A = this chain, B = another copy of it.
Amino acid sequence: MNLPETTIERLSLYRRVLLSYKYFEKPYVFSHDLARAIKVKPVQVRKDLMLIGFTGSTSNGYSVVKLIEQIDKSLKFRNVQKVALVGLSTIGGATELYLGSDENAFDIVACFLMHEETRSVKMDYPVYGIEKIPEIVKDQEITIAVLAMPPEFAQNICDILIMSGIKAILNLCSTILEVPENILVKDIDFITYLEKMSFLSNPNVKR
């Protein structure tokens, strides 16, 4: 089953909304409930659920518990991947943004920092120097890395991560990384986003 990437992203969002429904013991949702929660159209929700082969009823809508199960199965969320944070800013961020929740379909298991002095930071995750990357990544079978550091170090650390067995990189450095084609990279370029917002929020630009 080959899901569009946009659908995969929305399934992750639906799932979190559904988990809060489950928490409040609401047994059913309609497509317009999910749609409102993540700001899309109800037909989009139904199309997405169609793609993972999930069906509801015209009277009650969708079963919350069963839909969570179906999303978990479709996105293989039983097979939780291990994540390493690389770079100081990722750590505060991960803690502050609640990336460590055990409801997420990934598990942050290690941090790697560049500078000797920063290793004293007290954290929710074990903190190592970057020279430990090969050992820890291999031992723990970490597959995903979040990369945040000054751009001039990014390619070098990226190479080390890949040699150590990392399969996917969430790249927060505003740098284009050179990687083998079997490695997945998602670039989050804050400079680009801020410049785009700068342009779009200019009162002279009508949208």
Contacts and interface: CB of A to CB of B under 8 A. Distances in A.
Interface of A: 2, 5, 8-9, 12-13, 16, 37-39, 75-77, 79-81, 83, 87-90, 92-99, 104-106, 143-144, 146, 148-151, 167-168, 170, 172-174, 176, 184, 186, 188-202, 204-206
Tell me the number of copies of this protein: 2
A168 B198 CA distance: 8
Shortest 8 CB-CB contacts between residues of A and residues of B? A89-B93, A89-B92, A168-B201, A81-B198, A168-B197, A167-B201, A12-B195, A12-B192
A95 B202 CA distance: 25
B188 A99 contact: no
A11 to B, nearest CB: 8
A88 B95 CA distance: 10
Interface of A, helix, strand, loop or mixed by DSSP: mixed
